[in-house]
Amino acid sequence: MIYGQVLVDGLIVGLMFALVAMGLSLIYGVMNIVNFAHGEFMMLAMYFCFFMWALLGLDPLLSTPLAAALMYFVGVGVYRLLIRHVLQATMVAQIFATFGLLLFIQAVANFLWKSDARTIPVSWSTGHFQFAGLFFNGPELVAAAGALFTAGALYWFINRTETGLALQAVAEDAQAARLMGIDSDRMFAIAWGVSCAAVAIGGGLLSTYYAITPLSGARWALPAFVAVAIGGFGSISGAFFGGLIIGVVQTAGGFFTSPNYKQLFVFALYLAIVFWRPYGLLGRR
Amino acid sequence: MRAWLAQRVEGVPAAAVVALAAALAVYPLVATQPFWRHVVIMSMLYGAMGVAWNILGGLAGQVSFGHALYFGVGAYTAAYCYKFLGLAPLLSLPIALAISAAAAVLVGLPTFRLRGHYFVLASVFIMEGIHVVVSNWDRVGAAIGLEYPVYKASGFVDALWHGQFQTKLPYYYIALALLALALVAFRAIQRSPFGMFLVAIREEQDAAQSLGVNVARCKLYALIASAAITTLCGMFYAQYVLYVEPTSTISLLISLEICFVAILGGIGTLWGPVLGAAVIVPLTELLRAYLSGRIALDMSGLAGGGIGAWLEYYARGGGGNLDILAYGLVIMLIARYRPAGVLGFFRRID
């Protein structure tokens, strides 16, 4: 039974990793940029939900859609002000652009809200229950369900809407897409907006049970890179399954050794996978 | 003599190099305040690490975001050997270099097959993994770190043996020697056939391989050389601040600072990291001294004070971290406006 509990806990965490990784993979797939600041948008959404709760008494699950709408525009703004101008630059310059953004947003959060952990003690989903011999924590389960729903919506958006198909066309061949009348600059901006909105939903869902600090987002984003690599950079569905895998690996590794070492297993998994397949488990090139 | 001084060392006249060396040698005699000496010590330290990073990143084109690992190897080996084994820095030096070379081989063998972002992320994850291990390893002080036992030296030779000085002056000249060593090593490698192999790997790895360059071995040797100098810098750092802990040695921020120095000045060039360090390190040290001193003010009692109290709170430094805020801003601006670095030597790395 304990193995079942570990597996279920791993999948619950893994769904959140999956959501974070899908946004990362979307941006990478469309414009070949690794967004090191991805987790910071999540952290901003967590603070947004915290202050909506603290100042207006709004349940974080209600503020989550608002946070997503807000982060959509933040993402578009970041693309227009920064990312658009490094698209033609070297990989190193691109890495520094998003890494500088990570330092900047973290420092702004530290300056404005201090590094003390904040929590939202009670939400609509608070509570524990037992089902089929397994223990569930309400907020975590609701967050996982929300992440699964958002991941499904993202998948639907990419594969079933006209905008999503245009995004895929730009990812495939930006030049050819331009000849077909697709405005690639607009598509890039939409990709940033959607990616940031998706991770903001993750942040909002997390804020119901996870301590909120300026570093909260980075803790989720770093393992999510492993999920992206497992699925092959740029593959949205690959990132989803990658997220589930690292969720289980991290939870099981932490359970059988010590929670302090749980990230080690994820990093080791990355090395094992790229050593075996230098372009990721499902990646091609 | 005149003809010699007119010679150029990588685009810079020999006379200017001599003038720079002389200015650096005389500087601490003029600037006697500890803070101003400290600023140039840190600049030279990061300059040396930037030059070392450039052997692998600039010449061979392998962008490592994990160099803080080798910095940490040097810092922790020096501190551990001194504190627990009673070994002076000169005696722990070969141990540190051996661990550094072993680490370089262990990191290099699996990762040098990878290209682009896969390599960058592998270097980050290995470094972060070691950070997790060190942060939980009680023998090396875990998250708290190791503090040096302070040694009261009798005479200069004794102080030199223990690597602990009362003033910043000896540290200054050791840092200068480290910078000179890094520059000489970079130049020697750059002008050797080995250096040309590295450049060939950077420009066109597959072509270099087909012409008989042993790509894997060349990258590994470049990493070992680069890591060795970075380890020396780590040892110096530990002896200088007499305290090591995980976040100020083996962290992504330190990795980033090392490689940013090289990229800011112009990747793959001899003088680039020196220029980059001369620009960014004094800036960050000044920001740190003037902005991060006001950390984490008490927020209690603000709630009743209204907007005015909050504005005053932020005007007095808020929750701190303004130095990192400015640093992040500078990095973004450089990436946005001068992606090839301040010197503008454009080097494409894929």
Q: Is B173 helix (H, G, I), strand (E, B) or coil?
A: helix
What DSSP character marks residue A130?
A: E
Residue A118 β-bridge partners? A212
Q: Which residue of B has its CA nearest to A86?
A: B336
Would you call B331 and A226 a contact, using CB atoms and an 8 Å cutoff?
Answer: no
**At what angle are helices A262-276 and B89-111 packed, to 10 degrees?**
50
Chosen for mutation from B65, B109, B115, B118 (greatest number of chain A CBs closer than 10 Å) is: B118
Q: Does any CB of chain B come closer than 8 Å to the CB of residue A259?
A: no
* Segment 216-245 of chain A within 8 Å of chain B by CB: 222, 225-226, 229, 233
pLDDT band at B185 (very low <50, low <70, confident <90, very high): very high
What's the CA gap between A115 and A109, in Å, rounded?
A: 8
Task: Return the CATH number of the domain spanning residue range A2-276.
Answer: 1.10.3470
Would you call A86 and B335 a contact, using CB atoms and an 8 Å cutoff?
Answer: yes
**pLDDT: which is higher, B13 or B53:** B53
Q: Is A131 helix (H, G, I), strand (E, B) or coil?
A: strand
pLDDT band at A235 (very low <50, low <70, confident <90, very high): confident
Tens digit of pLDDT for each residue in A149-199?
999 999 999 999 999 999 999 888 888 888 888 999 999 999 999 999 999
Tens digit of pLDDT for each residue in A21-80?
999 999 998 888 999 999 999 999 999 999 999 999 899 999 999 999 999 999 999 999
Confidence (pLDDT) at B347: 44
pLDDT band at B306 (very low <50, low <70, confident <90, very high): low
What ipTM goes with this model? 0.91
Q: How far is A132 from chain B (nearest CA, A)?
A: 36
Neighbours of B207 (CB within 10 A): 11
Please state, for a pLDDT cut of 90, what percent of chain B lies above it.
Answer: 60
Confidence (pLDDT) at A284: 57
| Every domain of chain A and the residues it spans | 2-276
Q: Does any CB of chain B come closer than 8 Å to the CB of residue A91?
A: yes
pTM assigned to the model:
0.91
Burial of B71 (0-12, 13-18, 19+ CB in 10 A): buried
Q: Which residue of B has its CA nearest to A258?
A: B136
Segment B138-156 shows an average pLDDT of: 88
Q: Is B244 helix (H, G, I), strand (E, B) or coil?
A: strand
pLDDT band at B296 (very low <50, low <70, confident <90, very high): very low
Cβ atoms B243, B147 nearer than 8 A: yes
Segment B153-173 shows an average pLDDT of: 89
Q: How far is B338 from chain A (nearest CA, A)?
A: 9
Cβ atoms B189, B195 nearer than 8 A: yes
Would you call B329 and A100 a contact, using CB atoms and an 8 Å cutoff?
Answer: yes
Confidence (pLDDT) at A133: 80
Would you call B132 and A261 a contact, using CB atoms and an 8 Å cutoff?
Answer: yes
Alpha-carbon dihedral sign for residues B124, B118, A152, A253: negative
Cβ atoms A199, A67 nearer than 8 A: no
What's the CA gap between B273 and B270, in Å, rounded?
A: 7
Confidence (pLDDT) at A8: 92
pLDDT band at A277 (very low <50, low <70, confident <90, very high): confident
Chosen for mutation from A38, A78, A92, A260 (greatest number of chain B CBs closer than 10 Å) is: A92
**pLDDT: which is higher, A73 or A89:** A73
Among B274, B281, B242, B34, residue whose Cα is nearest residue B178: B274
Query: Which tokens is B308 given?
Result: 């005015």
Tens digit of pLDDT for each residue in A104-135?
999 999 988 888 889 888 777 778 888 888 88
Chosen for mutation from B127, B258, B321 (greatest number of chain A CBs closer than 10 Å) is: B321
What's the CA gap between A103 and B327, in Å, rounded?
A: 8
Query: Which tokens is A244 given?
Result: 């589930």
Q: Does any CB of chain B come closer than 8 Å to the CB of residue A96?
A: yes
Would you call A111 and B332 a contact, using CB atoms and an 8 Å cutoff?
Answer: no
Task: State the Rg of chain A over Cα.
Answer: 18
Q: Does any CB of chain A come closer than 8 Å to the CB of residue B209?
A: no
Tens digit of pLDDT for each residue in B97-131?
999 999 999 999 989 988 888 899 999 999 999 99
* Segment 103-122 of chain B within 8 Å of chain A by CB: 110-111, 113-118, 120-122
When CB atoms are compared, the residue of B114, B132, B347 closest to A263 is B132
> Phi and psi (nearest 5°) for B153?
-85, 150
What's the CA gap between B73 and B153, in Å, rounded?
A: 26
Q: How far is B247 from chain A (nearest CA, A)?
A: 14
Confidence (pLDDT) at A230: 85
* Segment 152-211 of chain A within 8 Å of chain B by CB: none
Q: Which residue of A has its CA nearest to B299?
A: A114
Tell me, what amino acid is at A275? F
Q: Which residues of A touch B216 (CB under 8 A)?
A: none
Would you call B118 and A260 a contact, using CB atoms and an 8 Å cutoff?
Answer: no
Residue B147 β-bridge partners? B243
Range list of β-strands (E), chain B: 8-9, 12-13, 146-147, 243-244
When CB atoms are compared, the residue of A34, A97, A113 closest to B335 is A97
Q: Is B318 helix (H, G, I), strand (E, B) or coil?
A: coil
**pLDDT: which is higher, A141 or B320:** A141
